[in-house]
Amino acid sequence: MTSLSFLRQMLQDVRHQKVRTLLTLLGITWGTVSVALLVAFGEGLQRRIVKSQKGLGESIVIAWPSRTSIPYEGLGKGRGIRVTEEDIEALRRKIPDARFSGEHSDGRNTFRRERVRISPGMSAVSPVFGVMRNLIPAPGGRFVNDLDVDRKRRMVFLGDKLKQDLFGDAEAVGQTIMIDNAPFMVIGVLKKKAQDSSYSGRDQDKAFIVDTTYRGIHGDRYVNNFIFQARHPSLVPEVTRRVYEELGRRLKFNPNDKEAIKTWDTTEGEKFLSIFFTTFRLFLAVIGSFTLMVGGLGVSNIMYVVVEERTREIGIKLAVGAKPRFIQSQFLLETLTLTALGGVLGFIITLAVLWIFPFLGLDEYVGTPTASPAVVLTTAALLGLIGIAAGHFPARRASLLDPVAALKLS
C-alpha cells in the first residue's frame, strides 16, 4: 500500500466516524496537555523554590557559638563558647576544603540621610561572605573587597529595599550616609533576589560593612556567628566534623558537643526538596498519564469499529495473498498516526500556555512552567507507548481474521 492510498483509506475511516474520531482526538490532545503541563508546572515550581532557598546561600552552614552541654577536661558544662577572628583564620588554614567568614552584629543601628532616619539590621563581614551568601551587587556597584578590609574603609553595601527606604529612586552608589553618627560611603546595592529563609532578617532590609572597620570602631573581637561552605555539598558532613574538632581543640570543649556550636546545615533542606519534588513530579506525571490512557482507550475503540466496518476488505486482501503482518502493520500505523496528530495538537496548546504564562506575573507564587527536553521526551515516549498499545489489539484481531469467514460475514 502506498502512502497516498494509506492516507486516503484513513481519511475515509475518519469520515465514517467523525464524532467518535473528534472525541478521541480531543482525549489524546487533552491527555498530552495534562502530562506536559503538569510536569512543566512541577519543574517550574521546583526551580522557583530552589532559587528562593539559594537566596540565603548555596550549600552553606551557619554556626552560632553557644554553651557547652558536656564536661570536658575538668571544665563544667554550661560554659560559654566565644569564637574570634583568629579562630576563623585557623579554620581556613586547617580545612582547605571549605571557605569561612565570621559575622559581627550588635543589633539595630541608626542610619540617617538628610531627613530619613531608620534602624535596619547591619552585619560586619569579609569579602568572601558576599560570595557564600549570594549578595550580588546591582550594576554599577560592588561588595566589600580585600582593599577595604586592609585599609579599614568606611564602606557600606545596602539591601535593595533598604536603599529604597533611604534614597528612593535616586542613585545611592557613591553617596554618603551616617551610621551611628559616623559617615559611610555606599559602594553597592543588592541586586533584587528571591529569598525564602533567613537567620537575622532578609538581606534586602540589611546593610553590610567591612569587618575590620567594625572591630576598629567597637573593639569587638568575637563573632556573633560564622558561616562556611564546603568545596562540594558532599563534603559538608566531613567539613562540619573537622570544624568541631578544630574549635574543640582551640576552645576546650568536647568535639561531640553539638550544643557548644549550634549549626544550621542548609544542604539538608536541599536534599529534602530534591527528594520531595522528584516524587511530586512523578505523581503529577502519573495523574496526567491516566488522562492520556483514557484517550488511548478511545483510539482503540475506534480502531475496533474500523476493523468491523472493513471486514470484507480485510478478507479480500487475505484471500489474494496479503500476509497477516501487512494487515496488522496497516491498522497499527493508522492508530499511531491518529495518536501522533492528537499529540501534536497537545504540544501546540502546551507551548501556547507556556508562552502566555510568564506575562501573567505569577512567577513569584508558582514559578514559571518549563518545557525542558526531559518533559517533551517523556510525553512523546508515553504517547508512543499508548499508541502502540491502543492499536496492537485491534490490528491483531484484523490480521487473525479467516478470509472465508470474513467474506461470509460481510
Q: Are residues 244 and 341 in the same domain?
A: no
Q: Are residues 17 and 102 in the same domain?
A: no
What are the 10-residue block averages of pLDDT along the chain, 410 residues in total? 58 63 75 81 82 85 94 87 93 94 84 90 94 94 94 95 93 93 94 86 93 88 93 92 94 93 89 83 77 75 71 69 70 77 87 86 76 76 80 73 60
Question: Which cell numbers hold the place of 219?
Answer: 573593639
- Cβ neighbours of 234 (radius 10 Å): 10
112 and 177 Cβ atoms separated by less than 8 Å: yes
Per-residue confidence (pLDDT) for residue 97, from 0 to 100: 92
Torsion of CA 250, 256, 262, 266, to 10 degrees: 110
Question: Which domain-ending residue is among 220, 236, 266?
Answer: 266
Q: Are residues 316 and 230 in the same domain?
A: no
Q: Are residues 135 and 260 in the same domain?
A: yes
Q: Which domain holds residue 340?
A: 3-53+271-409
Question: Which domain-ending residue is among 224, 248, 266?
Answer: 266
194 and 53 Cβ atoms separated by less than 8 Å: no
Q: Are residues 179 and 78 in the same domain?
A: yes
Q: Are residues 353 and 285 in the same domain?
A: yes
Per-residue confidence (pLDDT) for residue 206, from 0 to 100: 94
Confidence (pTM) = 0.73
Per-residue confidence (pLDDT) for residue 279, from 0 to 100: 85
Q: Are residues 110 and 184 in the same domain?
A: yes
334 and 397 Cβ atoms separated by less than 8 Å: no
Q: Are residues 252 and 112 in the same domain?
A: yes
Question: Which domain-ending residue is among 219, 236, 266?
Answer: 266
Per-residue confidence (pLDDT) for residue 226, from 0 to 100: 95
Q: Are residues 36 and 97 in the same domain?
A: no
Give the count of domains, the chain. Answer: 2
Q: Are residues 37 and 83 in the same domain?
A: no
Q: Are residues 304 and 218 in the same domain?
A: no
Local structure of 189: helix, strand or coil:
strand
- Cβ neighbours of 146 (radius 10 Å): 10
The answer for residues whose C-beta is within 8 angstroms of residue 194's C-beta and 6 or more apart is 48, 51, 52, 55, 364
Angle (nearest 5°) at CA 228 between 73 and 55: 140
Q: Are residues 315 and 367 in the same domain?
A: yes
Question: Which cell numbers hold the place of 366?
Answer: 508558582
Per-residue confidence (pLDDT) for residue 318, from 0 to 100: 67
- Quick one: which of 197, 242, 161 has its CA closest to 57? 197
